[in-house]
Structure 1
C-alpha cells in the first residue's frame, strides 16, 4: 500500500488539530460561558465533562486520521517521535505548521458556534495558570502531563508488540484522565497547538490573554514528551537486549 503523501498527511493533521480544539477547548469555553452567566464557579463535575469531550475527540481523530498521518495533533508528540527516530526530522516542520494552523482554525470554529461571548466569557477555553501556580511549577506540571501521554503513546501505538486496535481508546481515555487531574493548576494543555489556537484568536478578538504564560505550554510539553519517549525506548531496548541474551544462552546450551 502506497504511503500517503506529506501534503495530505499535513492536511489530516490540520483537520485533526482543528477538531481537537473545536471540541475540547470549545466545551471548556461553553462551560465558562454558562458559569459566567449563572455567576457560578467551575466544579469537578464540569472538569469531568470537559475531560470526556477531549477523550471523545482524541479517540475519534485517532481512528479517523491515524491511518494517514499517525494522528499526532500535538507538536510535542511530533518532536518526541522525531527525537527518538520514530519520525523523520525533515517532516517535523510541516507537521508543526499544520498543527498550529489547525489550532487557530479550531479556535475560530469556537467563535462561530458560541459567538463573541465564547471569547469574552468563555475565553475560547484558553489555558491559564491558577493564581497559586508558579511559573516553573507550571512548566513541571505540563511536563509531567506530557510525559504520561507520550509514555502511553509509545506503549500502545509505537511499540510493534502493542495491540494497536486499542490505541484510540487507551490514548483518548488517558488524555481525559490527565485533564481531570491537571486542569486546576495549568488548564492541562500538554499540547502547544491546543494552547496556541485559542491564544491567537482570543488576542485578535479582544479576549484576555497573557502571552507571558505561553512558553510554559511549549517548554513543559516538549520536555515531558521527549523524556517519555527516551525513557520508553530505554526500557524497550533493555527488554530486547535481555531476550537476545537469553536466546544466545539457549543456543550455547544446545
Structure 2
C-alpha cells in the first residue's frame, strides 16, 4: 500500500470513528433519557453534541479535517476546499460510523427513545421545521467555512466556535426541529428501527443550508484560500499549507 493510500484510509477511518462518537452522543442522549425516565434534560442533550464536536476537532482535525457530517463535506467541496472525487468515500465513512453508533444503541437499549431519532416538536408544522433546519445549517456551515481559514479548523478557534454554535442552536431550536443539521445523524437511527419526524426534512434541509452557505462565504471572505483547503483536508500527508499552494483537485490521494 502506498503512502497516499495509507493516508486516504487514515482520513476515512477518522471520519468514520468521529461520526460514530458524535452520533453515539447526539442520539444516545435521547436513548438514555428514555431508559432512565427523563434524567437527561434537554439542555444536557443538546449541549453534549457540541462538546463532542469540540473534542473531535481537537482529536481528528489534523487527520481528516473533522467534517463528521455529509453536509459539511459537500460545503467544503462546493467552496473549493475539498476534492469532489473524495466526497463519496467521506460520506460513506460518515454514514457507516453513524449507523454503527445507532446499531450499538439499539443493541444495548432496544428502541428506547426511538434510538434517538430526530423529530419535530409536538404540533410544529413540517414546513417550519424544514425552514429552520435550512437556516440552522446555513449558520453552521458559515461558521465552519469562516473558521477554516488559516488552518484554524484544526485548532482551538474552530473547535470552540463550531461546538459552541451546535450547542447554542440546540438550546433555542431543539424543541422545534431537533436541531440536527446532519443527515447522517438523523438517518442512522431510522435505519436501525427508530421512528422520528419526516426524514426528508433532515436529509434535505442541511444540504440546502450548506449550498446557501457557499455563495455567502464568497461574499464574506472572497475566493477560497490554500490555507482553508489545508484545514478542510487535514494535515496528514499534506505538510504545511504553504507547501501546497495548488487547488484541492490537483492534490494526490
Shifted more, 225-234 versus 144-153: the winner is 225-234
Give the TM-score taking structure 1 as reference length: 0.79
Task: Tell me how far apart the structure 2 counterparts of residues 152 and 146 of structure 1 sit (CA, whole Å).
Answer: 10
Alignment partner, residue 214 of structure 1:
199
Evaluate the alpha carbon distance shift between residue 69 and residue 161 of structure 1 in structure 2; reply closer, same or farther with a 3 A threshold: closer
**Helix, strand or coil for the counterpart of 2:26?**
helix
Query: How far is 1:161 from its partner?
Result: 8.1
**Helix, strand or coil for the counterpart of 1:215?**
helix
Query: How far is 1:74 from its partner?
Result: 0.4
Alignment partner, residue 156 of structure 2:
165
Query: How far is 1:47 from its partner?
Result: 1.5
Instruction: Choose from 82, 86, 110 the match for 1:87.
Output: 82
Asked if 2 retains the 8 angstrom alpha-carbon contact of 1:132 and 1:185, the reply is no
Alignment partner, residue 188 of structure 2:
197
Query: How far is 1:105 from its partner?
Result: 0.4
Written as runs of structure 1 = structure 2, the 5 A alignment for 1:65-76 is: 65-76=60-71
What do the CA deviations read for 1:129-163 (whole angstroms, capped 9, x no partner)? 2232222222111111111111111121x222858
Task: Tell me how far apart the structure 2 counterparts of residues 131 and 152 of structure 1 sit (CA, whole Å).
Answer: 30
Asked if 1 retains the 8 angstrom alpha-carbon contact of 2:146 and 2:221, the reply is no
Asked if 2 retains the 8 angstrom alpha-carbon contact of 1:59 and 1:172, the reply is yes
**Helix, strand or coil for the counterpart of 2:37?**
helix
Query: How far is 1:208 from its partner?
Result: 3.4
Asked if 2 retains the 8 angstrom alpha-carbon contact of 1:155 and 1:162, the reply is no
**Helix, strand or coil for the counterpart of 2:150?**
coil
Alignment partner, residue 215 of structure 2:
230
Evaluate the alpha carbon distance shift between residue 195 and residue 134 of structure 1 in structure 2; reply closer, same or farther with a 3 A threshold: same
1:176 aligns with 2:161: no
Instruction: Choose from 33, 53, 59 the match for 1:64.
Output: 59
What do the CA deviations read for 1:99-146 (whole angstroms, capped 9, x no partner)? 111110011222344x22xx1x31111101223222222211111111
Alignment partner, residue 20 of structure 1:
22
Structure of greater Rg? 1
**Helix, strand or coil for the counterpart of 1:130?**
coil
| Cα RMSD after superposing both structures | 2.3
Query: How far is 1:57 from its partner?
Result: 0.9
Evaluate the alpha carbon distance shift between residue 145 and residue 5 of structure 1 in structure 2; reply closer, same or farther with a 3 A threshold: same
Task: Tell me how far apart the structure 1 counterparts of residues 57 and 135 of structure 2 sit (CA, whole Å).
Answer: 22
Which consecutive residues of structure 2, in runs of 5 or more, have no partner in the other structure?
226-253
Alignment partner, residue 100 of structure 1:
95
Which consecutive residues of structure 1, in runs of 5 or more, have no partner in the other structure?
39-44, 241-254
**Helix, strand or coil for the counterpart of 1:73?**
coil
**Helix, strand or coil for the counterpart of 1:9?**
helix
Alignment partner, residue 37 of structure 2:
35
Shifted more, 96-105 versus 134-143: the winner is 134-143
Task: Tell me how far apart the structure 1 counterparts of residues 130 and 47 of structure 2 sit (CA, whole Å).
Answer: 24
Query: How far is 1:217 from its partner?
Result: 0.8
